[in-house]
């Protein structure tokens, strides 16, 4: 038909039209889209992984059993006191004191003495506050106080001196004893550093609130 282009010519014109366009960007667009998608997925995965490694939110409550297990690592404890009495402390039993915001610790005590006969037994009862130690990133026992130190059958004069030595034993044994050590990643959220603030003893555990630095 007059004026109609030959089929080969039309194909050539279409090819020339495509050739005149900048098609080099198409792979770039596809690559960029894929790169953005992959980057987003990677960031999400990293965020989820960070959250998975951080079990604490704005606060966390340690159960009584968790604290009991941590305390047991300090025992048995042996110390010579008054130059002649060997004191062994074992089997700690932790009790929460929410009304005083403290913990009570009762331990079995065995005293080997130079008076002859079998070792004497009794109980050492201590209570303690809790604090956060930034140097070790740990929740620790602080300012332990002896409530009673009773050894059955110990001569009275030795018993009085042993009670006086009880405060030193409590300090050596429990002062700054760690109950929980935080990992560095547990004290940072989204690059914002934080540290334990208020520590509250409750009937079912010890609650720790976290404050931004």
| CA–CA gap between residue 104 and residue 102 (Å, rounded) | 7
3-state secondary structure 30-70: HHHHHHHHHHHHHHHHHHHHHHHCCCCCCEEEEEHHHHHHH
Go through the chain and tell me how many residues it has: 213
pLDDT score recorded for residue 36: 42
pLDDT score recorded for residue 44: 35
**Residue 57 has what DSSP assignment?**
S
Angle at 95 between CA 102 and CA 179, to 5 degrees: 70
Q: Give the residue from 150, 86, 79 showing the smallest Cα distance to 113.
A: 86
What 3-state class would DSSP assign to 82? coil
Per residue in 31-52, pLDDT (tens digit) is 554 444 444 433 333 333 333 3
- The stretch 162-184 carries a mean pLDDT of 92
Is residue 213 scored above 90 in pLDDT? no
- The stretch 148-155 carries a mean pLDDT of 90
pLDDT score recorded for residue 156: 84
CA 95 to chain centre: 20
Q: Does residue 186 contact residue 54 with C-beta atoms inside 8 Å?
A: yes
pLDDT score recorded for residue 207: 97
- Torsion, Cα 141 180 132 164, to 10 degrees, reads 10
Per residue in 104-124, pLDDT (tens digit) is 999 999 999 887 789 999 999
Place of tokens 């048995």: 76
The neighbouring-strand residues paired with 189 are 192
Strand segments (E) across 23-137: 59-63, 77-81, 85-97, 102-112, 120-133
Q: Does residue 155 contact residue 193 with C-beta atoms inside 8 Å?
A: no
Is residue 159 scored above 80 in pLDDT? yes
């Amino acid at each position: 038909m007059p004026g109609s282009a030959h089929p080969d010519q039309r194909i050539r014109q279409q090819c020339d039209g495509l050739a005149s366009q900048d098609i080099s960007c198409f792979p770039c667009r596809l690559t960029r889209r894929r790169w953005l998608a992959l980057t987003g997925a990677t960031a999400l995965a990293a965020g989820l992984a960070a959250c998975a490694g951080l079990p604490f939110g704005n606060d966390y409550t340690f159960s009584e059993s968790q604290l009991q297990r941590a305390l047991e690592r300090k025992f048995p404890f042996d110390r010579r006191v008054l130059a002649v009495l060997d004191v062994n402390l074992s089997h700690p039993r932790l009790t929460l004191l929410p009304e005083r915001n403290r913990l009570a610790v009762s331990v079995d005590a065995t005293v080997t003495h130079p008076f002859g006969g079998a070792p004497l037994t009794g109980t050492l009862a201590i209570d303690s506050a809790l604090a956060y130690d930034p140097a070790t990133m740990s929740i620790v026992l602080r300012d332990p106080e002896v409530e009673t130190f009773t050894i059955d059958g110990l001569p009275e004069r030795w018993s009085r001196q042993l009670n006086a030595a009880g405060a030193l034993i409590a300090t050596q044994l429990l002062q700054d004893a760690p109950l929980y050590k935080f990992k560095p990643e547990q004290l940072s959220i989204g690059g914002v550093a934080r540290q334990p603030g208020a520590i509250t003893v409750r009937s079912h555990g010890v609650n720790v609130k976290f404050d931004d630095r």
